[in-house]
Amino acid sequence: MAQRSSVGLRAGARSVVFAAVLVAWGCGHTEPFTPPPYGTDAPFDLTPPQRLTYNEAADRAPSWLPDGSGLLYSSQQTTRLDDDLCAALLPPTGGTQRDLWCDVPGGAAQTDAIEFPAVGADGQLAFVEATGPFGGLSPVQQGIALAATLDPASAQMVRPFPYTPAGSTAQFTAEGVRWLDATHLVYIGQQFSSQANCLTCPVDTLRTGQAVTVLDLSAPGAVPVAIPGTATATGVAVESGGGALLYTLAGDSRVYRYLLGSGSAEIAYDFGAAGVVRDVQVAGNRMAAVVGGRVAVGAHPVLGSVQYDSGGVVHVVDLSSGDDVTLDFTGRLYRRPALSPLGDRLAAEGYPLIIIQITPGIADTTVSKSGDIYLFGAP
C-alpha cells in the first residue's frame, strides 16, 4: 500500500525534483502572501482554526517541542535558487518564525531537504535528511540524521538509506519520526515511486509504507527492526510511558496498539463507518488522527495496491472514555495532526478545497497540493 504525497510544482519551478523526499513541492495558493507583523507571537488570522503559515509552496509535518514552547515543521522555500526544504520554528501560538534552517545537509550548492523533524526530551533533534544536485530526480544521499541541539546544521547521519530490516522489505525513505525513548527512534520505513502524467506535468511521488520501524541509536551501524504485522503502515505514535506503540494500516478504520514488552497487538480504537484512519498521534490520554475524506485504494503500475490520500477530517479521541470529537471545518482537508505535549492544542497540515465551476449548476472539487499549518484548540 502507499500514501500519495501532497505534492506538486509551483509555477516556474524546475520540472525535475527530488521525487522521493522533496514531497512538499507545491502549487501556489490563490491567496496572496500576507505575513503577520514582524516579531509577533500571534497568528495573522485569529479565526479558528488559526492559519499559522502563508507559504506559496508547502509547509508540513508539524511537531511540538517537548515543553510546548515552539512548533517545528518543514517549509519549502520558493525564493531560493536551490529549492531547499528547510526546518522552521514558530512560537506555540503562531506569528513570526523564530528560526529557519536551510542548506542541510549539502550546503548552498546542493538541493537539500529536512523532513519530519522531532525533538526528544533531552533536546536532541532527529529528522529525515536528503541532498543532491540541482534539478536531480532523486537525492544522492538520504537517511535518518541526529543533532545534539535544535540546530540541524550540527547533525550527523545515523542511518543511511536504503537498508532491509530483518523480516521486512527494503526501505528507501521514512516519515513520521518519533522518539520512543532517549536512545530509540520509531518511524514508518517506506519505498517510493515517482512519475509524471505527461511530458510537461510535475513529478508526483507515492510513498509506500513498508513497516513501523525501530532504530537503536545506542548501537552505531545497527540494522533497524521492523514491527511484525505493520507492512502497510500509514501512521505511528508512542503512547505515554513508551510501553506501547499505536499504528494504522492502509484501508483500515482501526488503530492498533503494539505492546513492546510482549510483542502482541490489539485493537485500540475503531472509527468504523467514519472511514479509513491514518496519521495517528498521541499525547497523554488523547489520540488524534485523520479519518475519512479523500482516501482510496487503487492499482499502481510499480507499487501494486496503493492508498491515495489527499487528506481527511481530524478526530480527537479520549483513550480513557472512548469519546470521539470531530474537528470538522469545511473548506479544507487535513493531514499529519500533532497534539501539543499537554494535549490542549493541535497543529495540522491544511489543504484547501478548490471548487471549479464547469457549467452552470455543475462544479468540480479538487484539493490543493500545497498546504499550510493550522492551529486548533483541542476539545
pLDDT of residue 379: 81
> Mean pLDDT of all residues in the chain?
86
Does the predicted model carry a pTM greater than 0.85?
Answer: yes
More confident of the two residues 205 and 128: 128
pLDDT of residue 297: 83
| Grid cell of 32 as nine digits | 496572496
How does pLDDT run across 238-262, given as a tens digit for each residue? 998 889 999 999 999 999 999 999 9
SS (H, E, C) 11-54: CCCCCCCCCCCCCCCCCCCCCCCCCCCCCCCCCCCCCCCEECCC
Residue 357 has pLDDT above 70, yes or no: yes
pLDDT of residue 138: 73
pLDDT of residue 328: 78
Residue 30 has pLDDT above 60, yes or no: no
> Helix, strand, coil: what percent of the chain each, to 5?
0, 50, 50
Cα 316 → chain centroid: 18
Identity of residue 122? D
pLDDT of residue 2: 44
pLDDT of residue 150: 96
Residue 17 has pLDDT above 60, yes or no: no
Q: Compute the average pLDDT of residues 189-195.
A: 81
Q: How confident is the model at residue 137 (pLDDT cuts 50, 70, 90)?
A: low
Q: How confident is the model at residue 266 (pLDDT cuts 50, 70, 90)?
A: very high
